[in-house]
Structure 1
Amino acid sequence: MEAIPDVLAPATLGPTRLRNRTIKAATYENMARGGLVTDALIDFHVRHAAGGVGMTTVAYCAVAPEGRTDGEQIVWRPEAAPGLRRLTEAVHAEGAAISAQAGHSGPVADSTKTKVPALGPSGSRSLLSLRKVKAATSADLDRVVQAHGAAARMAVRTGFDAVEIHLGHNYLASSFLSPRLNKRTDSYGGSLANRARLALRIMRAVREAVGDRIAILAKLNMDDGVPGGFWLDEAIIVARWLEREGTVDALEMTAGSSLLNPMYLFKGDAPVREFASVMREPIRTGVKLIGGRFLREYPYQDGYLLEDARQIRAAVDLPMVLLGGITDRRIMDTAMREGFQFVAMGRALLREPTLINRISADPDARSLCNHNNRCMVTIFTGSRCVLVPGPDVESPAGQRASDRPHDAREG
């Protein structure tokens, strides 16, 4: 009988050696400025590296200007290289590995901020920006595929140990997978083989670009959480195709749609009022009136994606990363017993970057995160846990330290 891995012991992910099996999940920091790395972004990931994770993930780095969700995000381009190198070196100095999440946001992009039309599988109007989403042409898709390969090569050159390709949350590749969003009648629409064509092409380009120099992960939706969307039965098939093609070293399964149902991923409280407070008009009024339909509330429990992820686990032999409600040693050990090789943590580490060190010292330690999800709102100004004392955190009397959220947040 095969021994159950120790989640806190060293492990290998593709060609990359990690000091343990815990990964800081890609949680959008919003700490880049002008598409470049800042000291704040470096400090954010150094805190998590010093806190004991095996690998931290930089989110989200766009492969093309129109693939950003906002105008400040890092785009894989030569000007960004020096800062990315500083970032990887700083994380390595703390003994952790570092991964870069790369992708194209597609219809999730806010073209009012990027100043470039958003791309999608079909023409539509974005619920996020109220602007038109342009149906991607074959030339657009060829360019996006090539851009993923170029991004992966740059990740190697700037010292990353892994690259995580975003195939979830109804970003571009995920929107093509979705029958609800993809109404095309060409070779990228209709059958699952056609809808998966873009995702498979992207992963081939990344593998061709990096070979076995760094690890390749794919973040793939299990389901979109909306009627008519991508669903688990199709996710199992796509996972098998990825395994067959040998383009990934590990799968990280996720869920939900940043475009249509974001809370499906997070579970816990839905901070509708807080989201409305940071929106511009007329979106602010719309969120106040019908935000509960968009930000739906789902009950939280530890390991909440495990039940569906088990079905992917049973279908493939690829190493897998369990995401969703990883908060303590108990659920980590459950993941190892269930055949997962790694665990990814988001909100728990945002609340407490030193959590892995604390669990190492005390196996009974539990996360301090209460899943109120108000951290989600801070992605507009710099991700942080609102329960950690600091600028703009509400005092016991309910007063705010300033009118504008400050520094330093998914999972």
Structure 2
Amino acid sequence: MNTASKISLREWAKENKIWEPKAWRVFLEKDIVSFYKQAYTLNAFYRFLKSEKICGNSSLADIEDEKLKNKIRVAIYGGVEPNKDFNKSFAKFMYDNFGICAENAPSFEESIKHYESWGDSIKVSVNSNSWINSISIEDLVGDLGSLIKEFSDKLDIKLSEIGIQESYPYLPVESVDPETFLPQAGEKPEKLVSLLNDFRQKALDLSIGINPFTTFAFYSRTIPLLVLMEFLECDINEVTKMANFLGLKGCSLVDGNEIALPTNSPDKVILLPKGEWSTTGKTYYPALIKKIRNLQSYLEKIDPVVKQVYENIIKQAIDQIHIAFEPWKDYEPIFSFIKEILENEDWVRLEVKNGRIVKVESNIKIYTYKGHYSYKEAEVPSKILLRNFLLKLSPVISAGIADISFSGSWVSLKFHPFAKEWIGKVIKNEGKI
């Protein structure tokens, strides 16, 4: 966490005392709850379009409510006029974003042809080829609801205080009739357009690199304890308080075993997300910090700019992170192996014995005879201390160039596609970048 792009984040974190659980209430109320209400409203509107009331009829003409019938007609054919670009029509907007069409048409053009041929005799359909279906809106609503519940429990806040019903499925106290988002003929769809625009903007505002809370959670999701303490300039008890709140556990940099916090040896501990399985082993419950991190995949689907911002962070980190892997002869076998493996795979694992890296292995199989095989691997003659290697690598992990996980005597490293460039720079400069 020592690149120039994080200086302001550091000052923000210290100023807001981010290690105090109460500091996260602003994030809950201002960001998560408001985004949840937008997502819930959009999902309710989408479910309304797919409902039996609209799609359950044999034809558009069979919809009994005349006002609703007129609105659906506008949704399917509104703005389509002779000698006018129908790609700018409201009907095209509805087809692209919500999939509403005539006769489950696979394209907007075919939907228009069906309506022009059959008029109100067409069957109203909502196909899956739409923006809202691509963003997994229903899953997003569920995950946001779960996130809000965990935040409120940990902060001892009643859901009703933040405009959410107290019982599952934790619906907003105030709701909007979905039909009101559909315009009549001659009306502008300002309410619906505004909802979509606000939703997309909120997704961008919540993304890594823009929102300080999600950005901090991203950088601190996997980090040596001492590095985080120095970054925040706070003591072990304050970091322990934050770790417990966000769901981080301490693991030994020597053997990977869990270390109780607080500890007298912060230089030998790395923080990782906790997470746990249900008693049946069928359901996994991620840590709070992991739930925050998981929002990013939804946000990238909602607005492509979100992914661009995230990738720019990684590109900047590649240019700005300076590390010295010395002596290079000790580290060279690891990086040469990683460089080779990244041509086909995106991860490697390190075998650790007595706190030292003895071997690096991939998932690439080398077949011998009669179907027998072994995994492609390389010895690490110098037996580098895992602790030293991970402390050097911590800025790379924080920046998202690589992710790390522990399993017994193995440590896995999963690399972002941009990592190839960084690995190439390390090797070219013989460990000094």
- TM-score of the pair, normalised by structure 2: 0.22
Structure with greater helix share of residues = 2
Q: Work out which of the two has the higher radius of gyration on C-alpha atoms and give 1 or 2.
A: 2
